């Protein structure tokens, strides 16, 4: 039987009118296909809480939300600050990204007049690769989250001017399985060019490309990233554009984020090399066993 035939529908519910909760799809034996759970909180911050082990209470969590959005001039002086309207994350849909099944939800908020910003979260059902810039791809594990932002227009009512920057500041907070919240640090990816890696502690990371795609172009444009470790913020600074897209990847390499490997039982053979019984079994810690007769 094909894997797709074994999957149940993804669970996504709306709680208290503002929070959506996600749990991973399950196979025919009621075991999760991957471990990641998530919560999507509405309001004015587009808050996303990723739970790599599936335990949002006592396990690891990675929280991402909007701290501020503003335009500065060439000297860095602030020209305009935006207030994000209250919005909710959309209903989940199952689609594909680069041939991989993903569970997707979006959050679209109004900035001023008719200008909008859209955040998208895609949770991968299987390992593979995904495009993170016009020319770069990154490897993803099952349960990794692609977190994207799209500006369909330059957010100001005035046309963009050379030298201006749009600065999006994200609040990033990782909580370890022991309840601590380490300071952020940033380094360079050893696997993907033009990509930096924000460490949130205990194997939790956010891969943030140094490039973005603007104006439906097939090439990438440099952006800058600044991390404030103790404040737990990431500033993304984009040069002036007409339309802009930016992708990042949230992931955990901690063992708790990996689906437990099964312990396989196979009956011993008799003197003639034949199994003494025909029963075999897979046992996974914390999950139902699979018996094969």
With cut-offs at 50, 70 and 90, classify the pLDDT of residue 212.
very high
With cut-offs at 50, 70 and 90, classify the pLDDT of residue 273.
confident
> For residue 221, is pLDDT > 70?
yes
Q: What is the mean pLDDT of residues 194-209?
A: 98
- Say if residues 18 and 88 touch (Cβ distance below 8 Å): yes
Which segment of 165-179, 230-244, 279-293 scores lowest on mean pLDDT?
A: 279-293
With cut-offs at 50, 70 and 90, classify the pLDDT of residue 283.
low
Residue with tokens 């380094």: 187
The overall average pLDDT reported for the chain is 88
> For residue 248, is pLDDT > 60?
yes
Picking from 174, 184, 173, the residue whose alpha carbon sits closest to that of residue 53 is: 174
Q: How high is the pLDDT of residue 278?
A: 66
With cut-offs at 50, 70 and 90, classify the pLDDT of residue 293.
very low
**Higher confidence at residue 164 or residue 28?**
164
Q: How high is the pLDDT of residue 272?
A: 76
**Higher confidence at residue 45 or residue 275?**
45
Q: How high is the pLDDT of residue 281?
A: 63
**Higher confidence at residue 24 or residue 14?**
24
Q: What is the mean pLDDT of residues 109-115?
A: 87
Provide the 3-class DSSP secondary structure of residue 257: helix
Q: How high is the pLDDT of residue 5?
A: 31
With cut-offs at 50, 70 and 90, classify the pLDDT of residue 176.
very high
> For residue 17, is pLDDT > 50?
no
Predicted TM-score (pTM) of the model is 0.86
Q: What is the mean pLDDT of residues 50-67?
A: 97
Picking from 40, 42, 38, 41, the residue whose alpha carbon sits closest to that of residue 56 is: 38
């Amino acid at each position: 039987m094909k894997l797709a035939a074994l999957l149940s529908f993804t669970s996504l519910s709306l709680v208290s009118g503002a929070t959506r909760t996600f749990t991973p799809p399950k196979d025919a034996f009621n075991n999760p296909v991957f471990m990641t759970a998530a919560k999507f909180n509405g309001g004015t911050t587009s808050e996303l809480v990723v739970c790599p082990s599936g335990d949002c209470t006592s396990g690891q969590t990675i929280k991402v939300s909007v701290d501020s959005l503003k335009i500065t001039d060439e000297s860095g002086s602030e020209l305009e600050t935006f207030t994000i309207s209250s919005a909710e994350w959309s209903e989940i849909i199952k689609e594909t990204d680069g041939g991989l099944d993903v569970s997707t939800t979006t959050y679209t908020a109004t900035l001023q007049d008719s200008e909008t910003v859209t955040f998208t979260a895609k949770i991968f059902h299987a390992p593979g690769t995904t495009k993170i810039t016009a020319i770069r791809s990154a490897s993803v594990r099952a349960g990794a989250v692609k977190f994207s932002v799209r500006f369909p227009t330059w957010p100001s009512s005035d046309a963009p001017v050379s030298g201006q920057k749009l600065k999006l500041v994200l609040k990033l907070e990782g909580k370890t399985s022991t309840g601590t919240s380490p300071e952020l640090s940033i380094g360079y990816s050893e696997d993907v060019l033009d990509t930096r890696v924000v460490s949130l502690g205990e194997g939790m990371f956010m891969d943030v490309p140094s490039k973005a795609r603007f104006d439906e172009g097939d090439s990438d444009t440099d952006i800058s990233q600044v991390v404030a470790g103790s404040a737990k913020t990431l500033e993304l600074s984009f040069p002036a554009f007409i339309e802009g897209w930016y992708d990042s990847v949230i992931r955990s390499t901690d063992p708790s984020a990996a689906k437990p490997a099964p312990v396989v039982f196979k009956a011993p053979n008799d003197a003639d090399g034949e199994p003494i019984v025909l029963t075999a079994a897979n046992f996974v810690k914390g999950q139902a066993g699979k018996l094969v007769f």
